[in-house]
Structure 1
Amino acid sequence: MTTMTVRDYLDLASAAHAAQGGLSGQRGVMATTTAKRIRDRMVEDLKKGATLPPVVIGAVLAPDDFSALRPLSSGASLDFLPEDRSNLSIIDGMQRTAALQEAYADQPKIGESKVRVEFWLTDNVRAMIYRMLILNTGQVPWTISRQLSVVYAPLLAEIVERVPDIDKVSTPDQPGRRVGPAQYSSDALVELYIAFSLRKTGVDTKEALSDEFSRLDFVDNLANEGFQEQFYGVLSMLSQLDKAFSRYDGEDGFPGGRFIFDRQPARIGFIVALGIAILGRPGADRSQAERTARIQQLEQSAHDLIYRLANLDASHLRDFLKTDVLEELLDKRVGQVGRYERGVFADAFKVLIEENFAVKNLEQCWRAG
């Protein structure tokens, strides 16, 4: 924890704001009448010299930089922070930052006032998520998705670094649509992260974090040092299969192989099926040794299937994928399409896993439900 001038703090925070748009998933500046009146009062108090509670800034550092950290004294250099200040997150203090910006714009001399800043530093994304889920849970109405979005940039950066099989990640700041395999949106990846941990296809990322069992499952997984690696391993399997399936372009009314993982329900179903196979069912979690052995076995089985598909010509790949059967199943008129599709794919990939990826073709998977 240290102190700095309001001007220096706003320079620090504005870099993150400009790059991440709304401070990467933080609660926006509240617009209700009551909130505006409270903020106006805060601005007036700041002009009179009021001191605010500390603002909390989060940063994920490189392991070498983290191990070289020294105690920080008041007014010390901020050289320990990443050069790209856009990767910082305002964990606590969005409303105070907005009030400081407004007061400074109206009365520039406030820039010389002091503000206390707490830096929460870590060398891995897991610890930052812990900071949000465990230490901020009293801040209602946070949702799982919103709390995770606070570490959006570091989590996505780590995914890009640790899962080279993913070719492209689109974000709100760098939008783009999926035009090839292994291309996913940042929102989709965050949802996959939640689904893998909770092992549920029906996770609603918009619901408040009120389910105590979901919270406990998430906390237990965060405490497991192998959890992140296992998630990245599953993402890698997803991306590799996405590319292998996409070798078939489609013909004569048969959808192409990319059709399978073009849909988020298919990715969710795959991730959840593997999550259960590796981590165990919620409430019956496997030990770390069992998880490691299970994912190694599944990675080998998936690799064997991918190698087998690489040696198939277009017609044989079409016969294996059976995308016509899948399309017919998905064309059913049902009330809740998203839930229905997630169920189809979860059942399908459960069969694929039970058969150790050694299926004759995917029809038995598509018809499993």
Structure 2
Amino acid sequence: MNWLFDERTECYSVQTTLTVGEYLDLVESAYQSKGSLSGQRDALKTTTGKRIRERMVSDIRRGAVLPPVVIGVVVDEKTFQKYPVADAILIEEILPEDVKGKLSIIDGMQRTTALMEAASVDIGVRDRAMRVEFWLTRSVRAMVYRMLVLNTGQVPWTLGRQLSVVYAPLLAEITDRVPELNRVFTPDKGGRRVTAGEFGSDAIVELYIAFNLRKVTVDTKESLSDEFSRLDFVENVSDDRFQGQFYSVMSVLVQLDKAFSKYDSGAPVRFGKGRNIFDGQPARIGLVVAIAQYVLGRPGADRQSGERATRMDEIVTNAGAMCTRVGKLNVEELGDFLRLEVLTETLDRRVGQVGRYERNMFFEAFNVLVSEGFEVPSMEPCWRAN
């Protein structure tokens, strides 16, 4: 195995040779929990794409050597400190058993699809040798940076698709770093939000994108044609503190969600409970982007890393103090503080593009909360900000 240390992202690059069969078995076990490989990046479906893949399958069967497939692996600190393992021969010697189901193909999805097709029609392909490069990291942020900056010249991915490659390790790290989260439900482990502190995995990934781009309207299905957005994304994930700041924002969101959820009017209306505020994505996006702009700066006007850290600490302190104050209120007092009837009236306005309107409305609302240092007599000035 050939080991190199990437000083920029603090990752180890390990290139080795496996048989096609060993590689496919490793990939298959890694994605059993996700159902299929197509969940990461679909095989090309265009006529040209199909022809290219058919040619690739034919070349593989004739003995062609493909460029290395790149696999991303997030390991814990204890495992990372053991690297490099100079005398390692088998993959099992560098990959702990518990991470094999969390591998991410960050470069080579189409080659993997072609290898699977070739092996299905010619069993002899499984005995052929192929090169595989493993990127071993202890940080999801480093993997995202590696993917966005160094994976060039490919079929354009959507922003959501690129992040879905590190979907599992990102969610695993969030649940570890944001202990206030009660539950994260995924497409594989479905569910619905029944109490505060529960969110869907897709919603969390969208919040991550919104925090990074500092925009309330995030289309995860669009390609990264906006070079300014791509640049903002890369610049943010290059900051060592950025990932931790996102987790801090998620912690603030969950704390507010739980504090507000203690109120229940008993009325069968949209905002009859305090929990209903963050039941929808517009309020979550609004809060996250309001904090993002305060901490990171508006798009195109980025703050320095030190100022970001100071402002993030300020947000965490002020939000925590507000949650403590709210936690001391009885149900009637909490209802008077939340002023959900004012929120309802604000959102009942007949407007076009309801989703966009609600995101902007909540963004303006939480902008007030942030600018006031989370010290407001009630939420009414927030709900009436737009």
Same fold (TM over 0.5): yes
Alignment of 1:5-44 (within 5 A): 5-23=19-37, 25-44=39-58
Give the aligned partner of residue 143 of structure 1. Answer: 158
Q: CA deviation at 1:94?
A: 1.4
Q: CA deviation at 1:353?
A: 1.1
Pairing 1:367–2:384 present: yes
| Alpha-carbon distance in 1 for matches of 2:130, 2:285 | 44
| Alpha-carbon distance in 2 for matches of 1:326, 1:24 | 42
1:310-344 CA-to-partner distances (Å, cap 9, x unmatched) read 11111111111111111222122221111100110
Between 300-309 and 159-168, the greater mean CA deviation after superposition: 300-309
| Alpha-carbon distance in 1 for matches of 2:240, 2:38 | 26
8 Å contact from structure 1 (residues 58, 120) kept in 2: yes
Give the aligned partner of residue 332 of structure 1. Answer: 349
1:25-66 CA-to-partner distances (Å, cap 9, x unmatched) read 532122333322322222222222222221111111112222
- Give secondary structure in 2 for the equivalent of 1:81: coil
Paired amino acid for 1:36: K
| Alpha-carbon distance in 1 for matches of 2:38, 2:369 | 37
- Give secondary structure in 1 for the equivalent of 2:92: coil
Pairing 1:70–2:84 present: yes
Pairing 1:207–2:222 present: yes
| Alpha-carbon distance in 1 for matches of 2:208, 2:218 | 11
Gaps of 5+ in 2: 1-14
| Alpha-carbon distance in 1 for matches of 2:155, 2:55 | 22
Pairing 1:344–2:358 present: no
Change (3 A) 1:169 1:5: same
Paired amino acid for 2:216: T
**How many residue pairs end up in the alignment?**
369
Q: CA deviation at 1:77?
A: 3.6
8 Å contact from structure 2 (residues 210, 285) kept in 1: yes
Pairing 1:115–2:130 present: yes
| Alpha-carbon distance in 1 for matches of 2:300, 2:47 | 44
Gaps of 5+ in 1: none
Change (3 A) 1:362 1:306: same
Change (3 A) 1:72 1:78: farther
| Alpha-carbon distance in 1 for matches of 2:229, 2:261 | 34
Pairing 1:236–2:244 present: no
Alignment of 1:261-340 (within 5 A): 261-340=278-357
> Which aligned segments of 4 or more residues in structure 1 are displaced greater than 6 angstroms?
none
Pairing 1:218–2:233 present: yes
Pairing 1:185–2:200 present: yes
Q: CA deviation at 1:74?
A: 9.2
Alignment of 1:75-94 (within 5 A): 76-84=90-98, 85-94=100-109
Paired amino acid for 2:17: T
| Alpha-carbon distance in 1 for matches of 2:150, 2:211 | 22
Give the aligned partner of residue 69 of structure 2. Answer: 55
Change (3 A) 1:96 1:103: same
What is the aligned-residue identity percentage? 57
Paired amino acid for 1:32: T
| Alpha-carbon distance in 2 for matches of 1:11, 1:194 | 32
| Alpha-carbon distance in 2 for matches of 1:331, 1:136 | 45
| Alpha-carbon distance in 1 for matches of 2:289, 2:91 | 45
Between 21-30 and 76-85, the greater mean CA deviation after superposition: 21-30
| Alpha-carbon distance in 1 for matches of 2:382, 2:322 | 15
| Alpha-carbon distance in 2 for matches of 1:222, 1:34 | 34
| Alpha-carbon distance in 2 for matches of 1:32, 1:287 | 44
- Give secondary structure in 1 for the equivalent of 2:217: coil
Paired amino acid for 1:310: G
Between 244-253 and 48-57, the greater mean CA deviation after superposition: 244-253
- Give secondary structure in 1 for the equivalent of 2:136: strand
1:271-300 CA-to-partner distances (Å, cap 9, x unmatched) read 000011111222222222222221222212
Give the aligned partner of residue 354 of structure 1. Answer: 371
Between 12-21 and 161-170, the greater mean CA deviation after superposition: 12-21
8 Å contact from structure 1 (residues 166, 183) kept in 2: yes
1:62-115 CA-to-partner distances (Å, cap 9, x unmatched) read 122222212668954432123131100111111211221122122212211111
